[in-house]
Structure 1
Amino acid sequence: MRFRPTQEQRALTAAVRELLARHLPGEALRTAADAHVRAGAGAAPRLDRALWKALGDAGFFALRLPEADGGVGLGLSEAVLVFEEAGRALVPGPLVATHLAAGAVPGAATGDTVVAAVDGTLVEWLDAADVVRGDTSGATPLTSVDPLTPLHAVPGPGAPEPDPVAVLLTAAEQLGTAARVGELAVQHARTREQFGQPIGAFQAVKHLCADMLVRTETARAAVYAAAVTADRADIAAARLLADEAAVRGARDCLQIHGGMGFTWEADVHLHLKRAWVRARRSGGGTDGEEALAADLVA
């Protein structure tokens, strides 16, 4: 099987990256996060409806819908590539929930309707959603570590079986963050100087950057392969690897940046906070480990 993206898939990736760079530059992201923090804990971040509609017009949410139903007619492999770019750009909003609702919820495919969904005991962007899938009775707001991902806790008897596609798309978002923080770490290591030379010349920094690359490429191979096989065990393994690559990569990137990484002029801390939140979604952590264990026993 071939896991390397085709020329058409690379063109799709480039187009999505260009679209997100145009509609969501880094400065806008940091400004939105800073504005939310200044507004106080009780204020919810605002969802950018213009960006949401632009994603809908570009076919982001309708990517896997058949052309006969008004969709783009592509597959899970293309969806993974697109969500990787969304993770790289830290696009705020319930992307996975709205993508999965395309074709089932009117307006979701075109970006006219924002769809949130209960994920285990949590729901993201509850107040900003037009439609919420799942029972949110008794939902209470939580203080989210990520200033651009509002969270609500939902009481319930227990988490349902995770949707494999949702698990894989979350892994793709984590892969995007892992790749981006690796780039940020290398850029900073090349330009930041101490003792008259770039810090990238020091062995400890070299090792951090090398470890980030290894984790990212290992996760990339697993995520791309799972998109082809669509096997539950492959998806579980890909998610575990992608969560680790994103969280540990962002932490290592923050260490390379030092104190600057915690400031609003840097994106590093935003990637770390988003990676923490994504890792709490269904299918990661214990869920993924249990899925792999069940597959081994079977």
Structure 2
Amino acid sequence: MHFQPTEEQRDLRAGVRSLLAGRYGRAALRQSVDTGAAVDRALWRELGAAGFFALRLPESAGGVGLGLPEAVLVFEEAGRALLPGPLVATHLAAGLVPGAAEGAAVVTAFDLGGRLVAYLGEADAVLGADRVPAGEPVAGADPLTPLHRVPSAGEADPYREAGPYRATGALLTAALQLGSALRTVELAVGYAGGREQFGQPIGAFQAVKHLCARMLVRAEVARTAVYAAAVTGDAGEGAAAKLLADEAAVGNARDCLQVHGGMGFTWEADVHLHLKRAWVRSEQWRTGAQAEELLAAELLGQAEAEAEREPAGGS
């Protein structure tokens, strides 16, 4: 199969990258971190006007009418920019929650499992729920992913309501992770080429070369898996994509920290923001353990089907 983006898809990706670079560049990111503003309503509406949330909504319903492969490319760019907010949930809510498609409404979801909800304080709606529940703020790793813990609903588990959206939500989250993994490769290579020790760039040292090469391999393997899952729609490939993208985002952020040395651990550097966001996203929609269970069940099912097709007595 050929998974290379078409010219139209490349143009779409370039357009989104240009939009985010102009509207949510590094200065805006750092301002968000300093102020704690996790959701910029004006930017949210701009994303809605650009078709970010209505990308897969049919044209007959006022959407863009594109598919999952295009959505993956768009979310990859959002991951590169570390764009905060419940992007996946609002995208999934287009056509279901009034205002979501246009960016007029911020929609979150019970995508972390249990009782934790991200962006609850900023949300106008919760995907699959009839109301926004009250919650207690809890400390989180990522300064731009505020978390709340909601009380038990007793007879119903609200996380179960996000179940129908889990496969697509996991793949779009994998695309966000992929974008972050690719961006940290760029950050590491850029720093290694400009930082000098002993009269030469640190990128000339073999240990640093190996770190950067390992980062690139992780990111490209994840890219292949995410693109393939978007094209085929296969459940197993989607689980593998989330698993590989999580590993790439977390592993690359850690290696990027190593390339930066002590500078990477400072608040002023952006590397720690990629790592913290990757930690949170690795728990959203489908964890690594859940992906492994799904893949194991699929492989077991294939093995059992093959065994049933074998003639009695074997060969």
TM-score using structure 1 length:
0.93
What is the Cα deviation at residue 60 of structure 1? 0.2
Instruction: Say which of 108, 120, 124 aligns to 2:118.
Output: 124
Equivalent residues of 1:118, 1:136 under 8 A apart: no
- How many Å apart are 1:155 and its aligned residue? 5.1
Look up the match of 2:280. Answer: 277
Q: Give the superposition deviation at 1:123.
A: 1.4
- Give the drift of 1:154: 3.8
- TM-superposed CA distance for 1:137, in Å, is 5.0
CA distance in 2, matches of 1:132, 1:184: 35
**Which among 27, 30, 49 is matched to residue 57 of structure 1?**
49
- In structure 2, the residue matched to 1:143 is 139
Q: Indicate the larger mover: 5-14 or 138-147.
A: 138-147
1:108 is aligned to 2:111: no
Contact 2:48 2:101 (C-alpha < 8 Å) held by counterparts: yes
Structure exhibiting the larger radius of gyration computed from Cα positions? 2
Match of 1:239 among 242, 255, 258: 242
Decide whether aligned partners of structure 1 residues 262 and 31 sit closer, same or farther in structure 2, where only a CA change above 3 A counts. Answer: farther
**Paired letter, 1:132:** V
SS of the residue 2:102 aligns to: coil
Matched, 1:152 2:144: no
Aligned equivalent of 1:213: 216
Counterparts of 1:281 and 1:243 in 2: how far apart (Å)? Answer: 10
Q: Residue 123 of structure 1 aligns to a residue in which SS? A: strand
Residue 141 of structure 2 aligns with an amino acid whose one-letter code is: V
Partner of 1:40: none
**1:14-29 matches, cutoff 5 A:** 14-29=14-29
Residues 1-298 of structure 1: matches in 2 within 5 Å?
Answer: 1-36=1-36, 45-119=37-111, 120-121=113-114, 122-133=116-127, 134=129, 137=133, 139-154=135-150, 160=160, 161=163, 163-298=166-301
The one-letter amino acid of 1:91's match is: L
Letter in 2 for 1:29: L
Unaligned runs of 5+ in 1: 37-44
- CA distance in 2 between counterparts of 1:201 and 1:293 reads 42
Distance 1:223 1:282 in 2: 15
* Local SS of the residue matching 2:284: coil
Distance in 2, Cα, partners of 1:264 & 1:11: 35
Alpha-carbon distance change, 153 to 136 in structure 1, aligned in 2, over 3 angstroms: farther
Aligned to 2:108, the other structure's residue is in SS state strand
- SS for the counterpart of 1:240 is helix
Mapped partners of 2:242, 2:38: distance in 1? 28
Write the deviation string for residues 241-262 of structure 1: whole angstroms up to 9, x where unpaired. 0000000000000111112112
Alignment match, 2:304:
none
Query: Could you tell which deviates more after superposition, 281-290 or 53-62?
Result: 281-290
Alignment length (residue pairs): 290
Shift of 1:34: 2.4
Kept after mapping to 2: 8 A contact 1:65/1:72: yes
Following superposition, which runs of at least 4 residues in structure 1 exceed 4 angstroms of deviation? 135-138, 155-159
Counterpart code for 2:143: P
Contact 2:123–2:132 (CA<8 Å) still a contact in 1?
no
Query: Which one-letter code corresponds to 2:183 in the other structure?
Result: R
Pairwise CA distance, 1:227: 0.1
- Matched position secondary structure for 2:144: coil
Partner of 2:305: none
CA contact (8 A) 1:136 1:154 kept: no
- The answer to whether the 8 Å contact 1:247/1:276 transfers is yes
Q: Match of 2:310?
A: none
CA displacement at 1:266 relative to structure 2: 1.9
How far apart are the structure 2 equivalents of 1:34 and 1:264? 10
Distance 1:50 1:209 in 2: 37
Measured after TM superposition, the shift of residue 136 of structure 1 is 6.3
How far apart are 1:35 and its partner, in Å?
Answer: 2.9
RMSD: 1.5
Deviations 1:130-178 (A, max 9, x none): 1123376563322011000101234557653461100000000000000
Q: Which amino acid aligns with 2:121?
A: D
Inter-CA distance 138–127: structure 2 relative to 1 (3 Å threshold): closer
Secondary structure of the corresponding residue to residue 120 of structure 2? coil
